[in-house]
């Protein structure tokens, strides 16, 4: 009898053990889900740095190389790059560009701004600089793709499928961001900007001028030539290059090396070269009584390769984001467009400023000042009218940058000697990425435009 | 051995039950008819009297009080054929010795339950597969998983490559998760252990699985619980099944004898199958020789004049070879010499496997000690090897109602691997692409700089034929073999203790504690002038896992009456796992040649990762048997895990139930001559897959912002930055739940000579965790969510036929067949989820399709299926990607046979995979370069033909290419269609490179002879000497045009069927001697 009781009690205890022992099991597992490797939040400055590096990676890597191939600055000579060079490109090729712009760039720039705005004392210049960065990034994004998510972007609490804003609306938002930044920086131009990754070293007055040059750039995109001219006149004004926004680079692989160098020398030797570069040909044939392009040629190119030893694609070479050169070219283009003698005179002045800039940059005296008669019979550029020369010159002034691709599309590839490398059409855009087609297809423009369909501003 | 253990246990149970009586006595010794060893715990019964006894530790039995007369004596024991004999009993002592023959039909009759207890297979309501350790060791494979290949239905093993120690992929039935681990949980002697494979990818080296650390010679048996219905007690780690490994223990021996076995095995490994390369056309483009070009679209080698090449010896174009001679860039190629780049980098490999084990014991306890060493030199010329030393000891001590077991293993393995895959430093990428007329000797030269100075030690390759610049673009394979090191050293300790206490006959307590810990120290050295790392690189890495597991189990049994009995088991499990990894990748070497010191590099990128994961559960099992024919088992596990989201309940319940009905116990069927045994099985179970660790919160990271081509910037160089992860955290993450229904029958015919087992299963996984793609414009590109669903339906059959059964001669044929149909049923709205591979061909999950189908670029087609042609009559790539192949086989089968004649044993195993595509990315790439074996075409045009670029080949012209009509009339497919047009894998769709990877393989054939006759034993004092010769992988029949189709670029990953310059596999000739004392 006693025996049976023990048995009975044992069974009951065992059954009780099975049922309702959550607390036993939970107490062993609770508190072990906190990630020791990565924090769940970070301060604004740190996020801002990441956002800038993300934006630069967009501006300086695959998108820049792809744009440069289609602008025929460089040529694709191996595998996927040979296909891309000859306009053989698929939607998935844009995935990484888009990801870099939105997830690494815009996300962190906006998060940083949110965090700055949430501080007890809001650092206004920091907020303003995040706006300039966002404008610089999203201006290029809309230039490359046309209609893109902007107002609903990076707000996953509200929507995981952001709608696409019209291209003109994005451009106007970009202008608004720049205007706000300009207002702020003009009021606080002596207050330094922290966590600035560029060559500007946090100088608010320099950032102010960068904001104006960017305004000019995007007004040119949208065809507001006179507005662009006005803005450019407040833009970067240091012919010695000290006002240029550049991304500094260093020798450390996978840390701070120039991304052109990392691509052409470390990751994908042989993919990107200049065997079939129109810019190289133009520089080769660009010498005359006023102009000696040797230094510029050797800066960008080394034979049929990019100059990765001591030039544009060297490991430690800074990458241009916004420069005095570009600002002067906008002035030149806008002035030349007037079709007046005064306009031509002003355009030539801007050209000469940019020629001084190049001499400063290369430490040369290769670029003599131009005068109106250089474009008349017997002149160095006798066969070229001024607007065409400005276009040729601007083309050569943007080698390796996305803006060069934006520029040639804006002017219908009207650069001397430029013709499609395949077929009869020039590329007009980046394709909408496969990732976005898979996840946000309802919001994509319908029909989805192809490579040769111009973005709305260029139609 | 299992039988032995069980017999010990049963002996102890029945020890006290020996009866006392008066008349005659029947006594004797029961021995194993094969080994001659005595058998404790055997039930010996005199049928007519319904009386009997069981044998003691020495195998002796005594039945007293038997009246004189004629009786039938029966002896039975699990795993042996029933012994029946008529005997005469007189007054006094009657000696009848009994020899019991092992039941060689099919698998062992004793199975191991999910909790590690031994149970009778005939009472199980779920199907299971058991493979003996001897069969695994006999396969000639280095690791347990590979040794399971083809041996059990539904256990799908795929080798991932032929490098020494490379992991194998094991998937049971089908993938029951989409992005979680698809390999089963491994449990050794009741304790879960790690089988991680860390670091596999599209480039790099073939990685090991940690189950490789086990010496197959130490394994007694492997049992596979194929799905949740059998494995639900392992809860959230069991949805892909559980592999239970029992290691060998000591055996009680006569007279305290110590058994010693010494084994020595030698194996020659041979390159199994290689890629066909053309040798007709030389380096160049457009039919002309061009030095340094990647292409082999040059001139026809046979048309060259012969003799010495003309070289440009000017500064900047020349080098001094190791012979001191000066060579230059070839400006005119005269030589007709060609080189074999497909086989020149291989040799025959050699493997030595030596082990010794010492064991013994008595009824008070047993022990076994073993030491094993495997030293393997791979088939690649150098720096491809594997060396594993294992030391293992197990000891058990028994008291009346208490026993303790200690089990400890130490493994030290080192390995050198060679880079493979999508990797310009990879071996075959550089080797296969090299033009046939380029001699990759010498690989290291003294380069003459443009200014006339000399730089020694430069890396020469076909794309950089004089060693100019810093990069060879592709590594010279010989340089890679000699200079690039990828070392790994693993030190692992597995230890466990088991205590068992039986306070009464109906109650027992078991406690198991297990520790599994290892460190893996890796060095990866790329010397200066390596293609991936021209400035030199070193990755040093130390990673390790640590796991502690404890189970406390109480088991109570009760016999209600003759017809009903039951057992209730209750347990508490806690499990703690840690992962720790720290290392750095350093580049830009300061002192060339001094490659292995971090301080010798200018640029350093450290990395680190840690994690801790905990699981805890209470579980119970109720077993009820009724009328000796119905066996019901119900289990439940209530579990918590630290990986579950904050917003979930935090604990989950996993039930299972199974019913076995031995319908041949029915009176109507019990004396059936044809059907000697029949059982129907019905089971149901649920198990899970835990979320990946730390996925419930969104985090920020300090680390590189990496572009899609590998170029990257580190915010640390710009003041330090933290970026938000592209993956959104999900606080609602819960366990994936897999539900399985299984029904089956186990039938044995003609006195158990034919054994047939049939199983049908349906497995459904809901709430499968997957990275749901988010629109990147939302700020996140992915988020883990319980969003997917996947199901597997399949059928398995195992058949074993004992053709001849006699004392001296036996012949068994066995086979297994399985078919699994998998379907991804939901991906939360996503169209496609990439698992592994490249954009051009990705092994993917796609709704409505089988898991792992290839999604990639295809030919553009019209609505009627015909090719959409361009203006010149050539096909074009489609704009959108689609499904282009399926790596899942239609079915798999294994057929084997074993013949034993006296001491001679002949055995073979044929492994069949019907269907299952492989993406031959190697071929696609080689076609771009013009080196693939199929590209030695030479055609004379019988009419004017258009080429892809619109050119014309005149009638009568002989050209390199072929004529094909794609629907628009015959056209000439020439070089330009491959290097510019869409006919190569780089420039065109992957569709034409999808090939049938089905195969029929003679996986193993072995001939063994065991010398163990009594005379031999007496003369030598040895128990036996076993000799065997085995061929592994000797024959392979496949339509696949690349290397062995049993390969996968990304190792044992979820995605599979990818071949892209994978290092090839081997076949082996193995000779083994085993001396048993």
Name which of B636, B640, B857 is nearest A25 (Cβ-Cβ). Answer: B640
A235 touches chain B (CB under 8 A): no
Who contacts A441 (Cβ-Cβ below 8 Å, separation ≥6)? Answer: none
Query: CB of A200 within 8 A of CB of A185?
Result: no
Mutation target to probe the A interface, by most A beta carbons within 10 A, among B623, B711, B986 is: B711
Name which of A10, A17, A100 is nearest B707 (Cβ-Cβ). Answer: A100
- Please tell me which residue of chain B has the smallest CA distance to A20: B638
Distance CA B254, CA A234 (A): 102
A364 touches chain B (CB under 8 A): no
Look up residue A84 and give its two tokens.
């891309």
Instruction: Note the pLDDT tens digit of each residue in A446-459.
Output: 999 999 999 999 99
Helix/strand/coil for B791: strand
Mutation target to probe the B interface, by most B beta carbons within 10 A, among A304, A439, A452 is: A439
Distance CA A311, CA A115 (A): 39
Distance CA A130, CA A137 (A): 10
Selection from A185, A186, A141, A187 nearest residue A164 by Cα:
A141
**Ranges of each domain in chain B:** 2-100, 921-994
Name which of B639, B700, B720 is nearest A25 (Cβ-Cβ). Answer: B639
Fold observed for domain A44-419: 1.25.40
Distance CA B550, CA B917 (A): 43
Selection from A360, A331, A357, A127 nearest residue A213 by Cα:
A331
- For chain B, 1077 residues long, the average pLDDT of each consecutive 10-residue run is 42 37 77 77 81 80 86 80 82 85 58 87 88 88 89 87 86 90 92 90 86 93 92 91 94 84 95 94 95 95 95 95 95 95 92 95 92 95 95 95 96 94 92 95 96 95 94 94 94 96 92 97 94 92 96 92 92 95 94 89 91 94 94 94 84 94 89 89 94 92 90 95 94 93 95 93 94 91 91 96 87 95 87 86 93 94 94 90 94 95 92 96 96 96 94 95 95 94 91 96 94 86 92 94 91 90 92 93
Cβ <8 Å between B705 and A50: yes
- Please tell me which residue of chain B has the smallest CA distance to A442: B775
Judging contacts by C-beta atoms under 8 Å, the chain B residues touching residue A41 are 700
Name which of A18, A161, A269 is nearest B618 (Cβ-Cβ). Answer: A18
Judging contacts by C-beta atoms under 8 Å, the chain A residues touching residue B587 are 252-254
Q: What is the pLDDT of residue A281?
A: 97
Cβ <8 Å between B720 and A49: yes
Distances (CA, A) of B215 to A82, B373, B387: 50, 9, 12
**Ranges of each domain in chain A:** 44-419
Name which of A21, A41, A155 is nearest B700 (Cβ-Cβ). Answer: A41
Distance CA B1027, CA B1016 (A): 15
Cβ <8 Å between A99 and B781: yes
From A388's Cα to the closest Cα of chain B, the distance in A is 34
Who contacts B230 (Cβ-Cβ below 8 Å, separation ≥6)? Answer: B114, B126, B127, B128, B241, B242, B656, B658, B683, B685
Q: What is the pLDDT of residue B751?
A: 85
Instruction: Note the pLDDT tens digit of each residue in B794-808.
Output: 999 999 999 988 878
Assess whether pLDDT exceeds 60 at residue A200.
Answer: yes
Helix (H) or strand (E) segment spanning residue B228: helix B228-231
Distance CA B264, CA B1028 (A): 11
CA angle A285, A291, A294 (to 5 degrees): 60
Locus of tokens 């670091």: B199
A23 touches chain B (CB under 8 A): no
Average pLDDT value for chain B = 90
Query: CB of A452 within 8 A of CB of A403?
Result: no
Query: CB of B296 within 8 A of CB of B284?
Result: yes
Locus of tokens 């990392």: A262
Judging contacts by C-beta atoms under 8 Å, the chain B residues touching residue A27 are 616
Helix/strand/coil for A389: helix
Name which of A56, A253, A435 is nearest B776 (Cβ-Cβ). Answer: A435
Distance CA B489, CA B508 (A): 42
Locus of tokens 């010795």: B97
Name which of A10, A57, A62 is nearest B713 (Cβ-Cβ). Answer: A57
From B203's Cα to the closest Cα of chain A, the distance in A is 13
- When pLDDT is averaged across residues A39-54 and rounded to a whole number, the result is 96
Q: What is the pLDDT of residue A109?
A: 98
Distance CA B592, CA B587 (A): 12
How many C-beta atoms surround the C-beta of residue A421 within 10 A? 17
Residue B826 backbone phi and psi in degrees, to 5 = -155, 140
Q: What is the pLDDT of residue A15?
A: 59
Selection from B100, B10, B2, B116 nearest residue B53 by Cα:
B10
Q: What is the pLDDT of residue B16?
A: 33
Name which of B473, B642, B704 is nearest A254 (Cβ-Cβ). Answer: B704
- Reported as a pLDDT band with limits 50, 70 and 90, residue A436 is very high
Distance CA A350, CA A334 (A): 10
A30 touches chain B (CB under 8 A): yes
Query: CB of B1051 within 8 A of CB of B197?
Result: yes
A10 touches chain B (CB under 8 A): yes
Question: Is the link from the previous residue into B442 a cis peptide, with omega within 30 of 0?
Answer: yes
Radius of gyration over every alpha carbon of chain A, rounded to an integer in angstroms? 27
Pairing label, strands B402-416, B385-398: antiparallel
- Please tell me which residue of chain B has the smallest CA distance to A250: B717
Locus of tokens 């004898």: B257
Distance CA B831, CA B826 (A): 10
Judging contacts by C-beta atoms under 8 Å, the chain A residues touching residue B857 are 90
Q: What is the pLDDT of residue A266?
A: 87
Query: Is 0.95 exceeded by the ipTM?
Result: no
Q: Where are the alpha helices (DSSP H) in B894-1053?
A: 921-929, 975-979, 1014-1020
Distance CA A40, CA A42 (A): 7
Percent of chain A with pLDDT over 90: 84
Residues linked to residue B705 through DSSP beta bridges, in sequence order: B713
Instruction: Note the pLDDT tens digit of each residue in A264-316.
Output: 998 888 899 999 999 999 999 999 999 999 999 999 999 999 999 999 999 99
Strand stretches in B700-808, DSSP E: 700-701, 705-706, 712-713, 723-724, 727-728, 736-749, 754-773, 782-805
Distance CA B975, CA B299 (A): 12
Locus of tokens 């995935």: A95
Distances (CA, A) of B305 to B300, B309, B327: 11, 10, 20
Locus of tokens 């962190």: A108
Q: B750 in the Ramachandran plot: left (φ > 0), alpha (ψ -120 to 50) or beta?
A: left
Residue B654 backbone phi and psi in degrees, to 5 = -120, 105
Cβ <8 Å between B832 and A438: yes
- Please tell me which residue of chain A has the smallest CA distance to B609: A37
Query: CB of A171 within 8 A of CB of A140?
Result: no
Judging contacts by C-beta atoms under 8 Å, the chain B residues touching residue A100 are 705, 707
CATH architecture of residue range(s) B2-100: Sandwich (2.60)
Q: B4 in the Ramachandran plot: left (φ > 0), alpha (ψ -120 to 50) or beta?
A: alpha
Helix (H) or strand (E) segment spanning residue A145: helix A124-145
Q: What is the pLDDT of residue A18?
A: 53
Q: What is the pLDDT of residue B75?
A: 86
Query: CB of A347 within 8 A of CB of A393?
Result: no
Q: What is the pLDDT of residue B672?
A: 81
Cβ <8 Å between B650 and A160: no
Look up residue A201 and give its two tokens.
């070293």
Cβ <8 Å between B710 and A262: yes
From B437's Cα to the closest Cα of chain A, the distance in A is 21
Judging contacts by C-beta atoms under 8 Å, the chain A residues touching residue B787 are none
Pairing label, strands B782-805, B727-728: parallel
Distance CA B321, CA B307 (A): 20
Judging contacts by C-beta atoms under 8 Å, the chain B residues touching residue A95 are 708
Helix/strand/coil for B242: strand
């Amino acid at each position: 009898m006693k025996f049976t009781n023990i048995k009975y009690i044992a069974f009951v205890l065992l059954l009780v053990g099975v049922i309702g022992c959550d607390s036993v099991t939970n107490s062993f597992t609770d508190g072990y889900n906190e990630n020791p490797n990565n924090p769940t939040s970070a301060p604004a400055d740190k996020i801002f740095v990441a956002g800038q590096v993300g934006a630069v990676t967009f501006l300086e890597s695959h998108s820049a190389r792809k744009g440069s191939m289609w602008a025929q600055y460089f040529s694709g000579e191996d595998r996927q790059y040979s296909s891309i060079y000859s306009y053989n490109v698929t939607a998935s090729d844009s995935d990484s560009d888009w990801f870099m712009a939105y997830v690494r760039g815009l996300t962190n720039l906006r998060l940083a701004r949110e965090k700055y705005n949430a501080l007890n004392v809001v650092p206004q210049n920091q907020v303003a600089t995040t706006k300039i960065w966002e404008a610089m990034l999203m201006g290029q994004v809309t230039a490359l793709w046309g209609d893109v998510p902007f107002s609903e972007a990076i707000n996953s609490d509200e929507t995981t499928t952001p709608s696409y804003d019209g291209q003109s609306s994005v451009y106007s938002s970009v202008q608004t961001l720049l205007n706000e930044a300009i207002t702020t920086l003009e009021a606080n131009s002596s207050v330094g900007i922290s966590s600035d990754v560029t060559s500007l070293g946090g100088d608010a007055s320099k950032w102010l001028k960068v904001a104006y040059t960017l305004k000019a750039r995007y007004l040119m995109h949208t065809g507001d030539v006179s507005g662009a001219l006005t803005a450019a006149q407040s833009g970067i004004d240091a012919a010695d290059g000290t006002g240029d926004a550049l991304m500094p680079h260093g020798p450390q692989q996978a840390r701070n090396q120039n991304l052109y160098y990392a691509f052409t020398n470390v990751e994908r030797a042989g993919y990107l070269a200049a065997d079939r570069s129109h810019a190289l040909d133009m520089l080769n044939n660009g010498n005359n009584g006023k102009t000696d392009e040797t230094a510029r040629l050797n800066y960008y190119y080394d034979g049929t390769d990019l100059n990765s030893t001591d030039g544009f694609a060297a490991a430690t070479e800074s990458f241009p984001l916004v420069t005095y050169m570009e600002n002067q070219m906008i002035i030149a283009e806008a002035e030349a467009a007037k079709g007046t003698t005064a306009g031509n005179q002003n355009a030539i002045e801007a050209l000469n400023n940019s020629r001084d800039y190049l001499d400063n940059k290369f430490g040369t005296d290769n670029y003599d000042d131009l005068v109106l008669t250089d474009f008349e019979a017997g002149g160095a550029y006798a066969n070229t009218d001024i607007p065409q020369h400005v276009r040729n010159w601007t083309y050569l002034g943007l080698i390796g940058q996305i803006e060069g691709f934006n520029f040639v599309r804006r002017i219908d590839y009207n650069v001397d000697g430029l013709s499609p490398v395949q077929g009869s059409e020039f590329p007009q855009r980046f394709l909408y990425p496969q990732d976005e087609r898979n996840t946000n297809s309802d919001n994509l423009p319908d029909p989805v435009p192809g490579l040769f369909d111009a973005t709305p501003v260029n139609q | 051995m299992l039988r032995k253990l069980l017999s010990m246990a049963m002996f102890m149970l029945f020890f006290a039950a020996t009866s006392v009586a008066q008349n005659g006595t029947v006594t004797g010794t029961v021995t194993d008819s094969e080994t001659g060893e005595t058998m404790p715990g055997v039930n010996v019964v005199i049928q007519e009297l319904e009386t009997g006894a069981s044998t003691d530790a020495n195998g002796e039995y005594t039945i007293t009080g038997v009246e004189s007369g004629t009786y039938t004596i029966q002896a039975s024991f699990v795993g042996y054929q029933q012994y029946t004999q008529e005997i005469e009993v007189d007054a006094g002592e009657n000696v009848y010795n009994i020899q019991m023959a092992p039941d060689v039909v099919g698998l062992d009759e004793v199975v191991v339950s999910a909790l590690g207890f031994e149970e009778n297979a005939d009472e199980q309501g779920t199907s299971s597969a058991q493979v003996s350790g001897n069969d695994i060791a006999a396969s000639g494979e280095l690791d347990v998983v590979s040794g399971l290949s083809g041996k059990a239905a539904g256990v799908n093993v795929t080798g991932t490559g032929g490098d020494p120690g490379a992991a194998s992929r094991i998937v049971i039935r089908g993938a029951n998760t989409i992005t979680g681990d698809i390999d089963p949980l491994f449990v050794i002697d009741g304790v879960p252990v790690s089988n991680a494979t860390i670091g596999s990818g599209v480039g790099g080296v073939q990685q090991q699985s940690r189950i490789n650390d086990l010496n197959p010679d130490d394994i007694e048996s492997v049992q596979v619980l194929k799905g949740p219905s059998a494995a639900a007690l392992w809860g959230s780690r069991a949805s892909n099944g559980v592999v239970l490994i029992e290691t060998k223990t000591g055996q009680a021996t006569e007279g305290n004898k110590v058994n010693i076995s010494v084994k020595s095995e030698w194996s020659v490994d041979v390159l199994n199958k290689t890629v066909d390369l053309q040798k007709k056309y030389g380096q160049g483009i457009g039919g002309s020789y061009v030095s340094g070009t990647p292409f082999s679209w040059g001139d026809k080698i046979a048309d060259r004049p012969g003799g010495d090449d003309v070289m440009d010896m000017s500064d900047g174009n020349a080098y001094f070879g190791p012979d001191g001679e000066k060579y230059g860039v070839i400006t005119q190629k005269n030589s007709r010499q060609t080189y074999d780049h497909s086989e020149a980098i291989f040799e025959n490999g050699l493997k030595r496997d030596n082990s010794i084990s010492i064991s013994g014991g008595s009824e008070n306890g047993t022990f076994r000690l073993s030491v094993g060493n495997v030293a393997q030199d791979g088939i690649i010329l150098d720096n491809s090897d594997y060396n594993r030393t294992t030391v293992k000891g197990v000891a058990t001590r028994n008291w009346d109602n208490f026993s303790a077991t200690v089990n400890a293993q130490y493994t030290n393995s080192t390995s050198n691997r060679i880079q493979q895959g999508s990797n310009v430093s990879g071996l075959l990428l550089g080797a296969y692409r090299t033009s046939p007329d380029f001699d990759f000797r010498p690989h290291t030269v003294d380069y003459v700089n443009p200014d006339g100075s000399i730089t020694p030690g430069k890396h020469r390759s076909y794309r950089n034929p004089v060693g100019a610049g810093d990069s060879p673009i592709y590594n010279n394979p010989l340089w890679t073999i000699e200079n690039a090191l990828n070392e790994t050293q693993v030190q692992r300790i597995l230890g466990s203790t088991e205590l068992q206490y039986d306070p009464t006959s109906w109650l027992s307590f078991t406690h198991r504690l297990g520790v599994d810990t290892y460190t893996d120290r890796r060095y990866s050295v790329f010397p200066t002038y390596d293609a991936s790392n021209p400035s030199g690189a070193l990755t040093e890495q130390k990673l390790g896992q640590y796991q502690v597991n404890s189970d406390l189990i109480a088991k109570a049994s009760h016999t209600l009456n003759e017809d009903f009995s039951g057992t209730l088991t209750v347990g508490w499990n806690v499990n703690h796992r840690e992962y720790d990894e720290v290392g750095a990748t350093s580049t830009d070497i300061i002192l060339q040649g001094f490659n292995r010191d971090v301080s010798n590099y200018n640029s350093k990128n450290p990395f680190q990762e840690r994690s801790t994961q905990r699981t805890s559960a209470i579980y119970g099992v109720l077993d009820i048997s009724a009328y000796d024919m119905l066996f019901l088992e119900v289990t439940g596990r209530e579990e918590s895990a630290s990986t579950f989201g904050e917003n979930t309940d935090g604990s989950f319940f996993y039930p299972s139930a199974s019913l076995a009905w031995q319908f041949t116990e029915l009176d109507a069927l019990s004396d059936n001559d044809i059907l000697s045994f029949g059982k129907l099985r019905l089971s149901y179970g649920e198990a899970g897959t835990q979320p990946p660790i730390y996925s419930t919160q969104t985090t920020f990271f300090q680390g590189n912002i990496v572009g899609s081509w590998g170029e990257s910037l580190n915010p640390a160089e710009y003041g330090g930055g933290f970026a938000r992860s592209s993956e959104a955290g999900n606080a609602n993450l819960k366990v994936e739940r897999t539900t399985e229904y299984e029904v089956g029958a186990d039938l044995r015919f003609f006195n158990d000579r034919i054994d047939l087992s049939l199983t049908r299963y349906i497995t459904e996984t809901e709430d499968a965790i997957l990275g749901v793609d988010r629109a990147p414009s939302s700020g996140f590109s992915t988020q883990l969510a319980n969003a997917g669903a996947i199901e597997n339906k399949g059928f398995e059959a195992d058949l074993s036929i004992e053709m001849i059964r006699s004392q001296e001669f036996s012949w068994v044929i066995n086979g297994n067949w399985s078919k699994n149909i998998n379907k991804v049923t939901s991906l939360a709205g996503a169209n496609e989820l990439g698992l592994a591979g490249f954009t051009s061909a990705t092994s993917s999950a796609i709704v409505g399709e089988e898991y792992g189908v290839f999604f990639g670029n295809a030919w553009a087609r019209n609505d009627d299926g015909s090719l959409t042609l361009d203006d010149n009559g050539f096909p074009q790539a489609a704009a959108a990607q689609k499904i282009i192949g399926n790596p899942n086989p239609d079915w798999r089968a294994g057929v084997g046979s074993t013949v034993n004649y006296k001491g001679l044993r002949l055995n073979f195993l044929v492994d069949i995979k019907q269907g299952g595509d492989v993406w031959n990315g190697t071929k696609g790439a080689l076609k771009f370069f013009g080196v693939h074996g199929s590209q030695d075409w030479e055609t004379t045009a019988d009419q004017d033909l258009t080429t892809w670029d619109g050119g014309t080949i005149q009638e009568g012209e002989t050209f390199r290419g072929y004529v094909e009509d794609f629907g628009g009339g015959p056209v000439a497919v020439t070089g330009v269609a491959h290097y510019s047009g869409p006919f190569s894998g780089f420039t065109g769709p992957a569709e034409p490179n999808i090939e049938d990877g089905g195969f029929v393989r003679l996986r193993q054939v072995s001939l063994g002879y065991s010398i163990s006759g009594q005379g031999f034993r007496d003369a030598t004092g040895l128990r036996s000497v076993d000799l065997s010769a085995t061929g592994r992988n000797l024959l392979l029949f496949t339509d696949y045009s690349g290397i062995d189709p049993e390969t996968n670029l990304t190792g044992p990953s979820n995605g599979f069927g990818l071949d892209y310059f994978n290092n090839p596999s081997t076949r082996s000739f193995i000779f083994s001697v085993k001396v048993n004392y």
